[in-house]
């Protein structure tokens, strides 16, 4: 298959769908932005796509908790779609960006197979330590061996923009299990070296106080990935905040490689 088709799922309050579709198209995929209600009406629509992407925004106004309502709608009305993309024949990819990661966390697909015996969810996303919305650029390091989207990427400089983005594991055992499986594959970093650190960094390097500096998590297969920062906002070099001061411009913004990795997976 040459060019995968991407389903960019929209809901009331989604606001990053156009940029996300642009990012996938720049990487060589074809995309359609589809409202969640259209998918609920037509169960066979999902069969047109190889990649499911949940973009950023404030679905259903972040009411109750960010991502909770869309995740509940998907669990109740789109269970077949979720199962097809997450499990199925293992031939599809899922990406959740920011609010999309919040939805994937609420659906439980990013922490699947982890200490299922516990009374509470193995992990969640909660309010940033300082209790406010934080919107700026961050350095990221990858432990990307496992995750399809992060292959051959060590460092990225990307914008983050969230209030409920602090990753918290239920306990150290869960954190260790996810880490040892290579699933804590994207971390906030202190610099551009691409070094993964487990001890939480101080603010501002770790913008929200996340356990083990976690900024992104993948499932046990590496095909399902959620991250809080916004790769679709750094596709072109001119989106870098200091681009006019750089002597040499890179060919692309740091985020593009993630979308290219997804497209390559189908080549
Ligand atoms: N940028 C986004 O996707 C919004 C993040 C999210 N709804 C929050 O504030 O936590």
Q: What percent of the chain has pLDDT over 70?
A: 99
Q: Which of 102, 124, 208, 227 to mutate to test the pocket of ligand 1 (most atoms within 8 A of CB)?
A: 102
Identify the CA nearest to 188 among candidates 224, 157, 219. Answer: 157
Instruction: Verify whether ligand 1 is closer than 6 Å to residue 219 (CB atom).
Output: no
What's the rounded Cα separation, in Å, for the pair 98 and 242? 24
Do 263 and 26 meet the contact criterion of CB atoms below 8 Å apart?
A: no
Instruction: Verify whether ligand 1 is closer than 6 Å to residue 161 (CB atom).
Output: yes
> Tell me: the pLDDT tens digits for 113-157?
887 566 788 999 999 999 999 999 999 999 977 999 999 999 999
Residue with tokens 């040892």: 180
Which residue's CA is the nearest one to ligand 1's atom 4?
A: 57
Instruction: Give the helix ranges, DSSP H, for the chain.
Output: 17-26, 36-41, 68-77, 79-86, 99-107, 172-180, 256-265
Q: What pLDDT sits at residue 236?
A: 97
Do 210 and 171 meet the contact criterion of CB atoms below 8 Å apart?
A: no
Residue 2's pLDDT band, with cuts at 50, 70 and 90, is: confident
What's the rounded Cα separation, in Å, for the pair 33 and 20? 9
Domain 5-265 has CATH 3.30.1330.10: no
Query: Is residue 1 predicted with pLDDT exceeding 60?
Result: no
Which residue of the set 16, 19, 53, 98 is catalytic?
98
The domain limits of the chain are 5-265
What's the rounded Cα separation, in Å, for the pair 213 and 216? 9
Q: Give Cα 96 distance to the centre of its chain.
A: 4
Instruction: Verify whether ligand 1 is closer than 6 Å to residue 231 (CB atom).
Output: no
Instruction: Verify whether ligand 1 is closer than 6 Å to residue 164 (CB atom).
Output: yes
In the reported structure, the alpha carbon of residue 161 is separated from the centroid of ligand 1 by a whole-number distance in angstroms of: 6
Which residue's CA is the nearest one to ligand 1's atom 8?
A: 162
> Tell me: the pLDDT tens digits for 35-54?
999 999 999 999 999 999 99
Burial 200-232 (b: 16+ CB within 10 A, else e): bbeeeebbbbbbbbbbbbbbbebbbbbbbbbbb
In the reported structure, the alpha carbon of residue 267 is separated from the centroid of ligand 1 by a whole-number distance in angstroms of: 32
Do 213 and 188 meet the contact criterion of CB atoms below 8 Å apart?
A: yes
Question: Does the interface ipTM go beyond 0.85?
Answer: yes
Instruction: Verify whether ligand 1 is closer than 6 Å to residue 70 (CB atom).
Output: no
240 as an active site residue: the answer is: no
Instruction: Verify whether ligand 1 is closer than 6 Å to residue 100 (CB atom).
Output: no
| Rounded (5°) CA angle 43-70-5 | 50
> Tell me: the pLDDT tens digits for 185-204?
999 999 999 999 999 999 99
Distances (CA, A) of 34 to 11, 22, 46, 47, 68: 9, 14, 10, 13, 19
What is the average pLDDT score of the chain?
Answer: 96
| Rounded (5°) CA angle 191-232-248 | 55
Order of strands across the sheet that contains 214-218: 30-35, 5-10, 51-54, 93-97, 224-227, 214-218, 186-188, 134-142, 155-162
87 as an active site residue: the answer is: no
98 as an active site residue: the answer is: yes
């Amino acid at each position: 298959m040459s060019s995968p088709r991407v389903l960019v799922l929209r809901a009331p309050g989604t606001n990053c769908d156009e940029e996300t579709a642009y990012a996938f198209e720049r990487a060589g995929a074809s995309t359609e932005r589809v409202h969640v209600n259209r998918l609920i009406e037509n169960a066979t629509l999902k069969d047109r796509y190889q990649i499911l992407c949940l973009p950023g925004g404030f679905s259903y106004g972040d009411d109750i908790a960010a991502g909770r309502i869309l995740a509940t709608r998907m669990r109740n009305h789109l269970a077949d779609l979720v199962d097809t993309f997450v499990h199925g024949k293992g031939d599809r990819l899922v990406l959740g960006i920011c609010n999309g990661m919040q939805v994937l966390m609420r659906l439980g697909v990013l922490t699947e197979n982890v200490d299922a015996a516990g009374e509470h969810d193995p992990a969640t996303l909660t309010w940033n330590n300082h209790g406010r919305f934080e919107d700026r650029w961050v350095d990221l390091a990858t432990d990307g061996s496992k995750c399809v989207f992060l292959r051959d990427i060590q460092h990225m400089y990307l914008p983050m923009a969230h209030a409920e983005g602090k990753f918290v594991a239920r306990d150290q055992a869960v954190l260790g299990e996810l880490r040892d499986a290579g699933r804590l594959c994207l971390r906030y970093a202190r610099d551009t070296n691409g070094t993964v650190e487990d001890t939480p960094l101080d603010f501002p390097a770790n913008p929200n106080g996340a356990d083990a500096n976690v900024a992104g998590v993948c499932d046990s297969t590496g095909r399902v990935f959620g991250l809080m920062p916004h790769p679709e906002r750094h596709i072109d070099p001119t989106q870098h905040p200091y681009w006019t001061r750089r002597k040499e411009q890179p060919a692309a913004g740091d985020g593009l490689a993630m979308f290219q990795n997804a497209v390559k997976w189908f080549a």
